[in-house]
Structure 1
Amino acid sequence: MQAVSAPFTSDDYRARMGMAARAAAAEGLDGLLVTPGPDLVWLTGYQPTAITERLTLLVLRCDAEPQLLVPILEHPDAASAAGAGAVTIRDWRDGADPYAAAAPLLTADGEFAISDSAWAMHLLGLQSRLPKVRYSSITERLPMLRPVKDAAELARLEAAGAAADATFREIVKVRFAGRKETDVAADLARLLREFGHEQVDFTLVGSGPNGANPHHEAGDRTILTGDMVVLDFGGLMAGYGSDTTRTVCVGEPTAEMSEVHEIVRVAQQTAFEAVRPGVACQDIDRAARRIITEAGYGDEFIHRTGHGIGVTTHEPPYMVEGEVRPTVPGMCFSIEPGIYFAGRFGVRIEDIVTVTADGGRRFNDTDHGLAIVE
């Protein structure tokens, strides 16, 4: 498989934290409060082994060095993270008040943006200790914190996409008819790992009527000859996500199935061709939706066209009506239009793409045609 860049260093994480603190200051914030989740991973390389009720908090301010507050039992793991050299690690013990330990790291008043995934109990605890501080969402105040990828991140996403493509090329060789959806899902998970994924996040297999549910988890339904089967799978490789969808047919498709698949293929291609710097995210959604609506299936396209991807498989930006933020080079997101007939079948085609200086580039290159499987 394609090699990825060297591991991120402490200097890489220091640069990210500095950039984030400066972005917060430019937004009129006193700093950022980052709890366990993708923002913490991206900024420090640290991912707690278990996210519990114990407070873990990265404090970024322009007027102070980065501080990472962790439970004392998690201190060794935090100290071994790739970005540990770029932060001062402080700890607190069970039985102590973690919010009293956090308070000196913040300002007595002002405003901090906090992780969307922060537990309410932690936000309330901080409010009780620092009642004059105001809090807002990181995604709301700094929506461009992670969406634009650098060269090293793009290389990881490209490699993850290639591994997902290799998985698809192998899965179409296995037998579908007479097997359960869970059997095919297990094959997908095994193949993703064989091709380099350290984490499998989802292996959706929706056969026949189950394919009309975009987020159907693989179940015990036996796949039958004549079924359309939606395969949506991905995970993390070298810390960055893959996410691709192809729809296959077990045996020969009906004329309707072929027609619907072709409409989705054209919609996906049209949306991809709309990608270029400066285009509003909603216009990529509109490009796909126009094709499907003009074909008479607008009511059957029931979700947004895409989502961002990076250290997690779903993150901003979103290709959806109302998102007027312009795309810029380095943004990475899915393009995944679909048509779904309740109780009958569904079709979806998904690639991860990145915005380039003059257009877009796919990270998935498997055939967009309707594959026939046994």
Structure 2
Amino acid sequence: MSDRLTRLRKQMADTGTDLVALGPTSHMRWLSGLDPHGDERPVMLLVSAGYAGVLMPSLNADSARAATDLPFHTWADDTGPDAALGELLASCGATGAGLSVAVDEAMRADFALLLLDALDNPRRSFAADTVGLLRQMKDAEEYEGLRASARLNDEAARAAFAALEEGMSERDVQAIIQAHYKANGARPEFTIVGFGANGAYPHHHTGETRLKRDMAVLIDTGCRLNGYPSDMTRCGWFGTPDPEFTKVAQVVEDAVQAALAACKPGALARDIDAAARDVITAAGYGPRFLHRTGHGLGIDIHEPPYITATATTELRAGNVFSIEPGIYLEGRFGVRLEDIVILREDGPEILSGLSRAIVTSP
């Protein structure tokens, strides 16, 4: 935590930020280890150049203290948070006019307004250029956690494809995957299983559709292991693959390869998206690529950087994000192949060890 706080203060100095204000969100968890109970009672972590402290309801203070050595400025239901917040701002030296304040994007609006109303004509921004930017640069601990979660995800997906039988439902496959997570100390984050035409809906709700011969199978799934998530999509065919399915799968794999080749420090996120999208468009399936090429992954399963057609984010070594192009043929099938990569100085390292080759079942 001390290293992250030091890095944050340097970033604050570089961006001219006087005060960073974080709510009970993943920003707070990343910086301090605190993951306090979140309800309507104001909680916030304030950081200035010389002080960091937490506005904390006294109701929750004892249970939260084990997570951090930061000082708490507590308040009770019968007195309200105003006095405690004033003391915290004074400790931070945040009493002058026109301070530059970076507010947590995910903080409750009423918490943010409570803070801003207590300041004298502050200059407001979001925390994207301070905590948000630092969170995109994964350290060794985060890398190891994400990699371990990815490898467990591999095992679960492999077990699911191996268990496919005619007549089983999408929910049956989902249960196999999630049982594997739980048996290995993880909790399910999400599991999408799409049989046949259901795979053509990128965010299909796993249901009671039954597996039949000559049917496509799409599995997009992730767990959370020791606090770190995973996310990966693989596709298969139950029976003898349809020739167009085989063609589409190869186009999507080619798009993945093109995007990976474009992943270099200094590249813009939109260039990665274009590399994948151009392959799919050239093959005649451009309108059937329905979403962005990727998203960041860290404490949150979706976080910056976002790999979109319009994103001008300059990618840096240490960024972790997905590469997941797809082609969706309504009424027939969908193919999406997704891997999480960490960007190294010499290019992307894929966290999964599972082949993207289409899984065929006899």
TM-score range, shorter-chain basis? over 0.9
1:291 equivalent in structure 2: 279
**What secondary structure sits across from 1:16 in the alignment?**
helix
2:88 equivalent in structure 1: 105
2:73 equivalent in structure 1: 90
Specify which of 226, 229, 238 is matched with residue 250 of structure 1: 238
Query: What is the alpha-carbon root mean square deviation over aligned residues?
Result: 1.7
Is 2:62 the counterpart of 1:76? yes
Alignment partners' CA distance in 2, 1:99 and 1:348: 51
Identify unmatched segments of 5+ residues in structure 1.
1-12
Specify which of 45, 51, 63 is matched with residue 38 of structure 2: 51
* 1:140 to partner: Cα distance: 5.3
Alignment partners' CA distance in 1, 2:333 and 2:197: 5
Alignment partners' CA distance in 2, 1:169 and 1:340: 23
1:60 equivalent in structure 2: 47
Specify which of 3, 8, 12 is matched with residue 24 of structure 1: 12
Question: Contact conserved, 1:232 with 1:243, CA < 8 A, in 2?
Answer: yes
Question: Contact conserved, 2:288 with 2:329, CA < 8 A, in 1?
Answer: yes
Q: Which letter maps to 2:71?
A: T
Alignment partners' CA distance in 1, 2:86 and 2:213: 63
- 1:134-145 correspondence runs (5 A): 134-139=123-128, 143-145=132-134
Alignment partners' CA distance in 1, 2:105 and 2:260: 30
Count of residues in Structure 1 that have an aligned counterpart in Structure 2: 356
Q: Which letter maps to 1:128?
A: D
Question: Which consecutive aligned stretches of 4+ in structure 1 deviate over 4 angstroms post-superposition?
Answer: 140-143
TM-score, normalised by the number of residues in structure 1 = 0.90
Is 2:182 the counterpart of 1:193? yes
Is 2:171 the counterpart of 1:182? yes
Is 2:204 the counterpart of 1:216? yes
2:150 equivalent in structure 1: 161
Residues 98, 261 of structure 1: alpha-carbon distance in 2 compared, 3 angstrom cutoff = same
Question: Contact conserved, 2:55 with 2:88, CA < 8 A, in 1?
Answer: no
Alignment partners' CA distance in 2, 1:206 and 1:47: 34
Alignment partners' CA distance in 2, 1:299 and 1:185: 29
Residues 62, 176 of structure 1: alpha-carbon distance in 2 compared, 3 angstrom cutoff = farther
- 1:269-280 correspondence runs (5 A): 269-280=257-268
Alignment partners' CA distance in 2, 1:46 and 1:209: 43
Question: Contact conserved, 1:103 with 1:126, CA < 8 A, in 2?
Answer: no
Identify unmatched segments of 5+ residues in structure 2.
none
TM-score, normalised by the number of residues in structure 2 = 0.93
2:108 equivalent in structure 1: 119
Of 117-126 and 287-296, more deviation after overlay is shown by 117-126
Question: Contact conserved, 2:189 with 2:229, CA < 8 A, in 1?
Answer: no
* 1:34 to partner: Cα distance: 0.7
Alignment partners' CA distance in 2, 1:303 and 1:287: 14
1:323 equivalent in structure 2: 311
1:140-195 deviation per Cα after TM superposition (whole angstroms, max 9, x unaligned): 56541201111221111111111111112211111243122122112111112333
